[in-house]
A and B are shown apart, each in its own frame.
Chain A
Amino acid sequence: MAAQASFIGQKNKKEQVYTDPWHMMNEAARTPSFFTGSEVIKEAVRRASCDIMVAYPITPQSEAAALCGELFAEGYIGDYFRGESEFAVMSQCAGAAFGGARVFTTTAGPGTMRAMENFPMWAGARLPIQMIVTCRGINSPLSIQPDTLEISYLMQTGMLVWHAETAQDFYDWILKGYMVSEEPDVHLPLALCCDGFFVTHTKDMVDLTPVDMCLPPYDPYRSPVPCMDMECPPVRMMRDPFVMKSNYISYATHASWQQEVWAAVERSRKHTIRWMDGLIDTENTDADVIVVASGTAVSQSREAIAMLEEEGIKVGLVKVKTLRPWPGSEIREATKHAKHIIVPEFNITGWLAREVSATIPNNERVHAGPHVCGGMTMPPEIIAAEIKTVLGVKAPSLAGRGG
């Protein structure tokens, strides 16, 4: 941190002051602003001292990527260009990060899937790249609408994976994300996900930090692997890669390498708890019924909980902020009194419900649903109906809505 500390108080070429990140995020005055999620991404990146931003246009992240282009034109980002495809973009991000740059990119849906090969490579190479994922449908027939299925793939890559609920989360977590992912004991890429359109294309009040403050620059000398060294793995993998040797020791080395990546995910826990005030947020965890959700499913659940409260039904809420690291002990503690755990999700497979089920005792308490997908909205009424059904209370059906 010494090298970064030496920058604090100095100005960059845009006259922004490199500021102690804790002061900037937690103590500096905030200005309420009415912005879309995409505009919020731009405002966070403006203050993030990014060296390079690379992206390929894909809905619904295209606007954010284009707005970052404006930042480049204004002089806030060191370099900016469009890659030939998402795969190329993520490879170019790796190259920049290997070279010691603070890197930012955005993607969505099929773009995430196309670039997937790069993500375990980023994690294995310990590159603290930040990638915004504005989730959308990934299957045929084509859909550009919100759907969170791609998150379940990212959760197995060794990246940190956070799931923002609101534009405010997005703003704060982009900046805090660099602070966590660049810690030398972590030093992993971060996939900061949100539900596309719901967050990116709607306007919300967001409290912004002062525009004349920015994060201190990335210090590549704190990296746990050598910065760009053509003689050493993970860069120089083609001469002596473990994969091309067939002996016990090369397998053991690769195994130890993988373990180290996931150990780094574990180490991020301490830093994430400090910066994000915990891996989950909770409300009314003494209730018999608790909703566990992430992303905008949390917002819809809040509405459902308020509706049920008017009917005298008390329901608690667990907002899962980080999926990697997974807040297992926190969820066990928060749900220990619950008789029923409802997990609403914007995807068909119910990956969050599976994670919760694998985490808690007596997991017959977990009710996977309601699920919507393919861009459908999740009216709070269907969450309320799910809860009423579980409790044996008669609930009106929404099946005929729109008919």
Chain B
Amino acid sequence: MTTSYRVMPGPEHFLPPSAASMGIRLPDPGQGHIHGSIVSEEEALEEAARRFLSAKVPTIFPGPLVLWAWNDKAAKKAKAIRHLYETIKECVHSSQHAMLIPMPDYRPKYPKINPEIEINPNHPNLTIWHNKIDACMFVGVHCHQANLSLKIIRGGTTCYTIAMCAQAGHEDAMLSVRDATADKIIRLADWVKKLKGSVAPPAEHSA
């Protein structure tokens, strides 16, 4: 099935469609996607780095799969994510504000969450809006909950979404890499370092 639909920053619709229902297909191993178009994994990693470097508030949202050391791989990934965050902080302009905000669990938080310190898959837009986040990456979030978030963010915010997925990737993100490992996260950090200074920072900082 060919489609003209592209997965772009919103706000898209009162109820945006799932990208899969619009004909967007997930990448195969070794591939990623940008806006729903299949690209090589390296191209996707490079573009993700560019998005971080050009955002006012580049943010990483680590989920439960990497927030707890439930196995060696999770601990290794958590360290790689921390390294990516530190790298982004080092490489961005002083007017940019990198953030690391966890998604510790998936329970709806009522009457309200504290958007300063966490994001929730059932109302992720609150954290995006509050912190004026314009580019974010989900990592270590269960696929179902990540897709829940990605659609809601696309529906109601202008945020650029990236999904670093340990499984098959996410077509509801604007950019996604699949089969994520600690090494792949470090490769993304390497791209951030490599592109430092070559990507124009945002014109003004309003966060």
Contacts and interface: CB of A to CB of B under 8 A. Distances in A.
Nearest to B121: A253
Contacts of B167: 184-185, 222, 224
Interface stretch (A101-109, A228-236, A313-321): A228-236
A263 interface: yes
B122 A259 contact: no
A44 B15 CA distance: 42
Contacts of B25: 270
A310 B21 CA distance: 44
Interface of A: 126, 183-185, 187, 222-226, 231-233, 236, 239-240, 242, 245, 249-250, 252-253, 255-257, 259-260, 262-264, 266-267, 270, 329
A225 B155 CA distance: 22
A104 to B, nearest CB: 23
B152 A225 contact: no
A382 B25 CA distance: 42
Query: 10 nearest interchain CB pairs?
Result: A224-B143, A263-B20, A263-B18, A185-B168, A184-B167, A224-B144, A266-B20, A259-B18, A253-B122, A240-B108
Nearest to A262: B21
Contacts of A252: 15, 152, 155
Given A185-B167, A233-B106, A253 B123 contact: yes
Interface string B1-40: 1000000000000010111110001100000000000000
Interface string B145-180: 101100110010000000000011101100000000
A267 B20 contact: yes
A259 B151 contact: yes
B149 to A, nearest CB: 8
Nearest to A258: B18
Interface string B117-160: 00001110110000000000000001111011001100100000
A226 B18 CA distance: 21
Contacts of B26: 185, 267, 270
B15 A255 contact: yes
B107 A242 contact: no
B115 interface: no
Contact of B168 (A184, A226, A231, A236): A184
B105 interface: yes
Interface of B: 1, 15, 17-21, 25-26, 64, 105-108, 110, 121-123, 125-126, 142-145, 147-148, 151-152, 155, 167-169, 171-172
A183 B148 contact: no
Contacts of A231: 105, 107
Contacts of B143: 184-185, 224
A242 B110 CA distance: 11
Nearest to A239: B107
A249 B123 contact: yes
A260 B15 CA distance: 13
A399 to B, nearest CB: 44
Interface-central residue, B15, B17, B20, B26, by most chain A CB under 10 Å:
B20
A264 B171 CA distance: 11
A226 B64 contact: yes
Nearest to A251: B15
11 contacts: A126-B144, A223-B142, A224-B147, A224-B167, A239-B107, A240-B108, A252-B155, A255-B15, A256-B155, A262-B18, A267-B20
Contacts of A267: 20, 26, 168
Given A185-B169, A266-B21, 13 more contacts: A185-B167, A224-B143, A224-B167, A225-B144, A231-B107, A232-B107, A233-B107, A253-B123, A253-B152, A257-B148, A260-B18, A263-B19, A267-B168
A255 to B, nearest CB: 6
Contacts of A233: 106-108
A309 to B, nearest CB: 34
Interface-central residue, B15, B19, B122, B126, by most chain A CB under 10 Å:
B122
A225 B20 contact: no
Interface-central residue, A184, A245, A263, A264, by most chain B CB under 10 Å:
A263
B15 A249 contact: no
Contacts of B110: 240, 245
Contacts of A250: 108, 122
